[in-house]
A and B are shown apart, each in its own frame.
Chain A
Amino acid sequence: MDFFQINLTAVVQLLSFIFLLWMLNKLLYKPFLSMMDKRKEKVEGDLLEAENARKRAEELRKEAENSLKEARARADQILSAANVQAEKVVEEAKGRAEKEAERVLANAKIEIERQTQEALSQVQAVATELAISLVMKVLKGTLDEKAKKEYLINVFKEYEKQ
């Protein structure tokens, strides 16, 4: 019955088990468990950080959306304002062109009138002079028919030359 003989060996084994437990606790389990705790903490910290980052990203996204909306509204406003401005500019330009045209037209009319007047006054002056000179000749009476004709032709020639 050597198989089932319990003796002092059991006590020795108990002591050796306690020794092994103590050694392994010092050498393996303490570093392992502290590392597990450390890793757990690290993972939890990372998770917290990730959550924070997610929140922050959400905030940023909202902000960006808001600013995009604002920018779009502002662009619309600017566009409509520009349209109005452009219309105004076109209107102004049109008005100015019309005015200019009117002015040019009026100037031209005035000039034509002035030239007509000038020409008329010139013609009048020449005719007056001619008449005066003719009257003078007639009054002198010294002139024959032939001389009168020559004189008149000369005068007209001169007038034409002018």
Chain B
Amino acid sequence: MAEKKRRRMSTKTKIQLTVFLIVYVTVGIINVQYLPKSPSDVLGNVANRWIVGNGPWFLQINPMTIITSLVVIAIIVLFARAVYKEYSLIPNRKQAFAESVMDFIYDIVQSSIPDERLAKSTFKIATTLFLYIAVANLLAGFVPGISVDVTKTIGENGEIIRNAKFMLFSDTWFAPTADLNTNLTYAIVVLVISHYFGIKAKGFKAWLKSFIEPIPVLLPLNIIGELAKPISHSMRLFGNITGGGVLVLALSYFVKYMFLPPILWGYFGIFSGLIQAFVFSTLTIAYISAQVG
């Protein structure tokens, strides 16, 4: 099997692979020379994020999250454009792949939401979430890239000073889904959309009435239950990806910043990432169908 694949590889691919491996090994050796040697130095900054700007929340921003999410969006949009350009009744390979993903989600949506128009909107949101989270998790799971090591010190006036150190190929890409900003935004979007669809499907009065069911005493519990949804929804993804990232970083420290073993291990990168993306979109569908139905 492997020999067959190797034989099918073109010369161009071989050259690219060789260049990549040379760069990879060189950077690994450089990393071993210059990066911190003790595990507490490596894992001590795991909880820190590269945040630019000081002051209130709307003046702070996480550049790494935005960079990686833009990369993810660029990948997805380029792929979608490649599919769109050659869209036909008889699919080619890319289109068959995209259609199998969409078909998979569309089946789930159709079986849980009877209304055709709401089902289509739900399908669009769930598929977008799935594609975004899956590509982000895969990118962060096993593609080595730029990583940022942030040391946090407290200055004289009690302000937090962050020193960012950039490293190439010492860690996998930072996943935008390992940032709670992304997850919480998406979970709140899902919550708002589910209630909007609920109003659309049932009418405003029936939607209000659903809060005092089965008895009016349960109104606070219902409200708390609704508010707990986005929290657990986002925290699940966040915990998985962050924990996976920390484990990958620890593992890569053990092998001195050579990133082949984490790729081969692949649990947190490939398996867990895809499963979490799938779970996130499935829960999206479940929440929306619970409001609509």
Contacts and interface: CB of A to CB of B under 8 A. Distances in A.
- Asked whether the complex places CB atoms of A and B closer than 8 A, the reply is yes
Interface of A: 2-14, 16-17, 19-21, 23-29, 31-33, 35-36, 38
Q: Which of A10, A19, A20, A23: most chain B Cβ within 10 A?
A: A10
B181 A13 contact: yes
A6 B83 contact: no
A31 B184 contact: no
A-B complex: 3 closest residue pairs judged by Cβ atoms: A27-B80, A7-B60, A2-B49
A3 B185 contact: no
A42 to B, nearest CB: 9
B57 interface: yes
A25 B180 contact: no
B106 to A, nearest CB: 7
Interface stretch (B20-28, B127-135, B247-255): B127-135
A29 B65 contact: no
Interface of A is mostly: helix
B242 interface: yes
B51 A32 contact: no
B34 interface: no
Contacts of A31: 84, 87
Interface string B214-234: 000000000000000000000
B83 A12 contact: no
Nearest to B129: A17
A24 B57 contact: no
Contact of A7 (B58, B120, B127, B242): B58
B125 interface: yes
21 contacts: A3-B47, A3-B242, A6-B180, A7-B51, A7-B58, A7-B62, A8-B58, A9-B65, A11-B185, A12-B61, A13-B65, A13-B176, A13-B182, A17-B189, A21-B125, A24-B77, A29-B123, A29-B124, A31-B87, A32-B99, A33-B123
A14 B185 contact: yes
A27 B77 contact: yes
A8 B57 CA distance: 6
A7 B181 contact: yes
Interface stretch (B68-76, B165-173, B201-209): B68-76
Contacts of A12: 61, 66
Given A5-B60, A9-B179, A13-B182, 18 more contacts: A4-B180, A7-B58, A8-B61, A9-B60, A10-B182, A12-B66, A13-B66, A13-B185, A13-B186, A17-B185, A20-B132, A27-B77, A27-B83, A27-B84, A28-B84, A29-B102, A29-B124, A32-B102
